[in-house]
Amino acid sequence: MPDTPPGLRLTRLMLRDFRSYPDLEASFRARIVVVTGENGAGKTNLLEAISLLGPGRGLRGARMAELGRRRPGQDPLPWAAAGRFENAHGHFDVGTGTAPPSPEGCGGSDRRAWRLDNAPVRSAGDLAERVAAVWLTPQMDRLFQESASGRRRFLDRLVWALEPSHAREVAAYENAMAQRNRLLSEGRRDASWLGALEDAMARHGVAVAAARRGLAARLNAVLAEGVTGAFPAARLDLVCPLCGALGREPALAVEERLRADLAAGRGRDAAAGGAAVGAHRADMMLIHLPKNLPAELCSTGEQKALLVSVVLAHAALIAEARGFAPLLLLDEVAAHLDAPRREALFAALAALPAQAFLTGTDSALFAPLRGRAEGFRAQPGNLLPDADFPMPECA
């Protein structure tokens, strides 16, 4: 890997009517921040707010209507989140929240707006050039037991963090597929209309597959370099005929074959209720290389360790591509790690230029970070300094 890029730091966070926080202002001075508290105290809400300061729907993938603070019997309130960041070039401010109603009456709780240094953000790409975050949540522990669709979303999030245009390709593919499914379910066999939709599915589907294939190759190269330290070596494998075909022949040929397969399978797909071929059929596997085992056959602790490996490698990829290390948001990450792995994680975080936010219910798990991390206690609607984690001398 090239020389270590500088990190991105969040130094101040302000929330208004976001989830469980009516009004919060917090400052962060250290590169490692530990937030502990009981279940329901708002620890995950805090990380979600930070994740929403970048493009996308955040670590929960929540809808806008779910984010505003709720009062009994009333609709969710308009919400806002703002952060001050520092990088190698100075500081900048990012704000997001409920979009104000337009003169035509649009806006409100179903739309979201962003501002960068108090000016409207023109595109997600503009924001992605400044802010990046990667995260690990307890929900991701089920990644290897749930359906392939969950693993595809995980994979596409990894791709999108490096290639913001990937989200548009996925959306265009899924939109064309939904229209084709609807036409077939209604028995409408307009050949020209179906042909146009299948052409869009072929073009966007192959672009999606190519981006996934590129991400896997880059991620595996970083994992092979051992950047994840004491965590197990891993390999990400794609289970995808389109990705396999792209390794053997040009993209245009793969597009043409997919287009022909979709046209030939209209009757079959009408009966099945969906397309039997395409980018939506992809899956991924994570292999524990020392044991040569797929993740679904590993223990819970090993699965968590494999995900930590992927997150650390992905952060290194972002740092290389963007020129700055992203924020690391690690929710309850220590819960299923044994003591040696926890200490290995803490050592890896201390060595990285990235700012890391860690949450947990048991502050004792983070004891090795005393003197290296700044600590807070989450309480409903508030965040208080934790006396057990005084500000480290070298923040």
Q: According to the annotation, is 40 in a ligand binding site?
A: yes
Task: Band the pLDDT of 336: cuts 50, 70, 90.
Answer: confident
Class in CATH terms, 145-297 = mainly alpha
Helix axes 191-224, 165-185, angle to 10 degrees: 140
Q: Are 169 and 159 in contact (CB under 8 A)?
A: no
- The whole-angstrom separation of Cα 186 and Cα 194 is 13
**Which tens digit of pLDDT belongs to each residue from 30-62?**
999 999 999 999 999 999 999 999 888 899 988
Q: Tell me if 220 is assigned to a ligand binding site.
A: no
Answering whether pTM is above 0.85, one says: yes
Find tokens 């994680």 and name the residue: 345
**295: amino acid identity, one letter:** A
Lookup: tokens for 369: 């970070």
Q: Is 323 annotated as a binding residue?
A: no
Residue 395 is predicted with a pLDDT of 57
Q: What is the pLDDT of residue 1?
A: 42
Answer yes or no: is pLDDT of 318 > 50: yes
pLDDT of residue 264: 97
Q: Is 42 annotated as a binding residue?
A: yes
Q: What is the pLDDT of residues 129-178, one digit of tens each?
A: 889 899 999 988 889 988 899 999 999 989 988 888 898 899 999 999 99
The reported pLDDT for the residue numbered 4 is 55
> CA quadruple 150, 155, 157, 160: dihedral positive or negative?
negative
> Letter for the amino acid at 261?
D
Alpha-carbon span 382 to 348, nearest angstrom: 29
For the chain, give the percent of residues with pLDDT over 90: 65
Residue 291 labelled as part of a binding site: no
pLDDT digits (tens, 9 = 90+) for 225-265: 876 667 888 999 999 999 999 999 999 999 999 999 999 99
pLDDT computed for residue 325 by the predictor: 87
Task: Tell whether residue 354 is among the known ligand binding residues.
Answer: no
Task: Measure the CA–CA gap between 148 and 283, rounded to whole angstroms.
Answer: 5
197-236 pLDDT per residue, tens: 999 999 999 999 999 999 999 999 999 887 666 788 899 9
Per-residue pLDDT at 107 exceeds 50: no
Cα separation values, 358 from 43, 124, 331, Å: 9, 26, 6
Average pLDDT, the chain: 90
Average pLDDT over residues 328-352: 89
What digits encode the pLDDT tens for the residues 356-375? 999 999 999 999 999 899 99
For residue 227, give the DSSP letter.
T
Domain boundaries, the chain: 145-297
